Each structure stands twice: as C-alpha cells, then as structure tokens.
Amino acid sequence: MNIKTISSSPYDDQKPGTSGLRKKVTVFQQPHYLANFVQSIFDSLDNCFGQSLVLGGDGRYYNREAIQIIIKIAAANGFNELIIGQGGLLSTPAASHLIRKNKAYGGLILSASHNAGGPTEDFGIKYNISNGGPASEKYTDAFFKRSLEINAYKMAELDDIDLDTQAEFKIKGLKIRIIDPVTDYAELMATIFDFDLLKESISSQYISLCFDAMHAITGPYAKRILEEMLGAPKGTVINGEPLEDFGGGHPDPNLVHAKELAQLMFSDKAPVFAAASDGDGDRNMVLGANIFVTPSDSLAIMAANAHYIPAYSKGIRGVARSMPTSQAVDRVAKAYNLPCFETPTGWKFFGNLLDADKITLCGEESFGSGSNHVREKDGLWAVLFWLNLIAKRRQSVADIVHEHWQKFGRDIYSRHDYEAVDSEIANDIFNHLRELLPTLTGKNFDEYAINYADEFCYQDPIDNSISEQQGIRIGFKNGSRIVFRLSGTGTVGATLRIYLEKFVKEKTEYQQEPQQALANLIELAEQLSEIKQRTGRLEPTVIT
C-alpha cells in the first residue's frame, strides 16, 4: 500500500467540546482541516497498528466525503480493519454497540447531533474509545495539543470505497466491512425489552404511536424495529428518510423543532404515545396525549419503574444525572436507597461509573437517557423503555407521570437557551456571576432563601480526575435551583443556558404551567445574571 505524507499547517480552533469537534461545514472543507484533526487523534493514541476502527455518521452534509478521507488516513496509520455502516450511516448508540460487540480499538462518529445540517450548516466528529463511550478530557486535551503543532498527515493511495453495498473485502491487508447499520442494534434491543408484549399491545391497538425521525439517522432504525419487528402500521414513523439537510428542519427533538408531532399530541387525534429523536439518534422526546414528559422526569420515572423491564427486572445498581438535570431522580434514588451521582454535562462522565458497575441508568436534561447496554445516550432505547412500561402497567403516559408526582413530588423544570451570544459577552456574564457567588449564600429573595452558591467542580470517583468550571449552581432551602452554564455544542458564538427548577409537594401544585410556576425564579435569574441587559436580548432563543 502506497502511503503519502502530506504537508500541512496547524489550525488553532480544533479544541473538542463536550461532544467532539463541531464547526460549520465550510470550516471542515478548508484545506487539510479534517485530515489534520483525524491525524492528531491517531497521533495521540497509544498504537493504531493492527487495530479495528468503527466508522459512520448521521448522514448530514459532508458525511460521505469525510468518511472517504478518514478511510485513507486510517489505512495509512496502520489500522487493519474498518467497520463502516452502509451508506456511511450509523447512529451514535449503534456505533457504541458495534465498538463493544467487535472489541474495536475505538470509533469515529461523524455528527453534530441536534444541530442543523446542510452546505452552510454544521458538521462534527468525535472519537469514542474501546468501551464505546466518548473520549475523556485526557484524550481530547491531547488531540487539541497535537492539533496545534501538526505539520503533516499520512494518506493511503486508495480509490474511494463503495459505501452503498454491504460487503467484506481486503485491500492490501486492510479489511473493510460495509455492514447493515441497523441489524446489530435491533438485535440488542430485543434482548432488553419484551418484544412479544409490545407486539401484542400494538396489534391489539392498546398502544397507538407516532415516531418522528426528523429526517435524521433514526428513520431506518425506527422503521425496522417499530414497524417491521413490532408490527406498528406503515407510516407510524414520520419524516423517516435521512437527508443531508434534515429536510431543511432542525433535528432537535423538542416542542419547538418537532412542531408537527407536538401539534398532533395536543389534538383530539393524539395516539397513546409519541416520540422523536435527533440527528444522530442519541436524544429523545417523549409525549403522551396532551402531555410532554420532561427529560428530567423521564429519567426519574425510568429509575422508579426499571423493574418492569426484562433487562433490569432484578434491580439496578445506581443512577446518575448531569448537574443541570433536575433532582427528580435523586428523590427516587433516596426512596429506593440507590447510589446517585451528579456529574458534569457530557456522556463521557457517565462512562467510568458504568464501567465500574456503579450505575445502571443515567441521563441528562438535554433529552438524553441511557443505560449500561452502551456507553452513549440512546433515543430509541428510551422510546422502547416507555412503550414497554405502558404495555406492562396498562396505563397512559399522563397517568404514569401523575402517579409518579403523587409519590415523589414534582420538580417543575425549564431550560432557557440564549444561542449565538457573543463569546466575550457570555464570558463577561459568567465572570460577573463568579464575583457574586461569595455574597449570595444566606440571602433571601421572597420565598427563595439561598442555601448554597458555587461553581460546580467534579472529582471523578473512579479515576479521581478533576473537571472544573462546569456551571454555576444556586440552590435554595426549599429544594429549588437556578443553574447557569455555557454549552459546548454550538458552532457560532456561545450558547448560554439557564436551568430553572422548583420543587412542589402538594397535589394542587402539580398541574401548574412551568413558565408561570417558575416566573419568580426566571426574574431572579435575570436579576443575578443581567443577561438581557448585557446581551440586548428580549427573550431566550428557545425555551424547553
């Protein structure tokens, strides 16, 4: 195999965020940009020679071209096996499963998750390690350091590979497998959930459902599992064809971007259950007739009801949530005497806990939940969990949620996103908040007495690594919270997120509209952060 060494110059903007490197497509299309970053990854790993690599993405614009580039660089760096999803497609949880099942050295997942796609929109790449989970900060810091000094990369002189035909072949010692992207994942789901019960419940019309794939990666997965394996009627999966630009939509499963689904579920034609997933298939939105289940509540309800699911029927080891996620799951853990961990945002922080068998279920407020079956959040897994729960309990989504609130209380919760904020302004807001922190504890703001105010710092209980500046927390004596955090998933400016949480115990308070119930907290968050004054924004970009 002929290998070329191609000279290049480093870029200074290749620091991965919480979910890899995300930039505009036009940035990745710059000369040597993608190749430099991929070579920086391989240079930072211990030894790629003779190893196996999983490769695939969510099908967004530039996915195919990027895969051809990566194949040539991987071959030149000594990988001897590449496992690639047909068409260059793999959902993020399916890629995690393939890494684990094949005992691969790692995987490269091409996605910008819930971000928009298209020639002028977003692209992303992240490296997952051998446990199937995202690379930790130890790795991503090394990738960035190497990217600042790289001056050349290696490429094998190969013709482009036919990605559209399932096949297994060798090219000068390099084994390439183009596999069906769905089969292995679907088989895994059948080992976790009661597919016989689900088929009966769907065929008897006890469960009617609609799944919005948002023209993203989960279309083929949902059609195979929900329609073909479980017998849901054709058309149950809407927007089911993956498109490079997600059909011009925004593949973020929330009430704003999955508008068609939300309108259906709050109409007199609503089925029993509905859900949506995002660009790469790792997020989920769950709805019942006239009810939206917040991701925080969804995680708590899963933890409280895991014993109904075959794979977790003997009990779960513990639970974990990201710091901004509501404390609803903490209340379940306390009631059932389960260990409960609070981690920074980013699925990589759950990996050590899962590998050490400290937890079984985990989740974050940004529409992500998962378990020990893979090392990523998993949208379709969550959908099947809820379907299995409805079928087993013979209750509607609303009844399950309301019964949960009656038992544990409700954490009324909302997230306010200010997107594409000038980075300097965003940093000034956080510096302002940091200066306030020492003065806040003990202060009273009407019904809200501040119990603590800090900047979250996480020490991993498994490897003792430290992650600092993970968000600002203001906790109140009545169990409520305000959290401020800068997100690492955007590609333009900064995304400033404000998380608002009010705990209520009385049944008369359960049905409050979240924005009204949180009005005083929203005003207090503005008072403390001065976000509207400093940004000139009249309101958040998105409220969920």
Q: What's the rounded Cα separation, in Å, for the pair 338 and 331?
A: 10
In Å, how far are 298, 323, 336, 355, 380 from 333, measured between CA atoms? 14, 15, 5, 20, 24
How does DSSP classify residue 411?
E
Burial class (CB in 10 A: 0-12, 13-18, 19+), 25: buried
Q: What's the rounded Cα separation, in Å, for the pair 57 and 183?
A: 16
Residue whose structure tokens are 């394996």: 229
Task: Name which of 481, 486, 485, 487 is nearest 524 in CA terms.
Answer: 481
Which amino acid, 156? A
Q: What's the rounded Cα separation, in Å, for the pair 272 and 391?
A: 11
Task: Name which of 59, 58, 103 is nearest 81 in CA terms.
Answer: 103
Q: What's the rounded Cα separation, in Å, for the pair 529 and 527?
A: 6
Q: What are phi and psi of 395, to 5 degrees?
A: -135, 155
Task: Name which of 34, 82, 90 is nearest 242 in CA terms.
Answer: 90
Q: What's the rounded Cα separation, in Å, for the pair 59 and 37?
A: 20
Q: What's the rounded Cα separation, in Å, for the pair 240 and 234?
A: 11
Task: Name which of 433, 541, 543, 539 is nearest 484 in CA terms.
Answer: 433
Which amino acid, 429? I
113, 322, 369, 487: the catalytic one is 113
CA torsion 260-266-270-272 (nearest 10°) is 110
Contacts of 82 (CB under 8 A, 6+ apart): 52, 53, 55, 71, 74, 75, 174, 175, 176, 177
C-alpha 271: how far from its chain's center? 26
DSSP-based three-state secondary structure for 46: coil
Known active-site residue 113: yes
Task: Name which of 494, 491, 502 is nearest 525 in CA terms.
Answer: 502
Residues shown for the chain: 544
Q: What's the rounded Cα separation, in Å, for the pair 377 and 456?
A: 22
No. of H helices and E strands in the chain? 18, 27
- Token couple for 516: 């009204």
C-alpha 59: how far from its chain's center? 17
Q: What angle do CA 491, 242, 542 make, to 5 degrees?
A: 40
CB 443 within 8 A of CB 422: no
- Token couple for 363: 């989740």
Task: Tell me which residues are annotated as active site.
Answer: 113
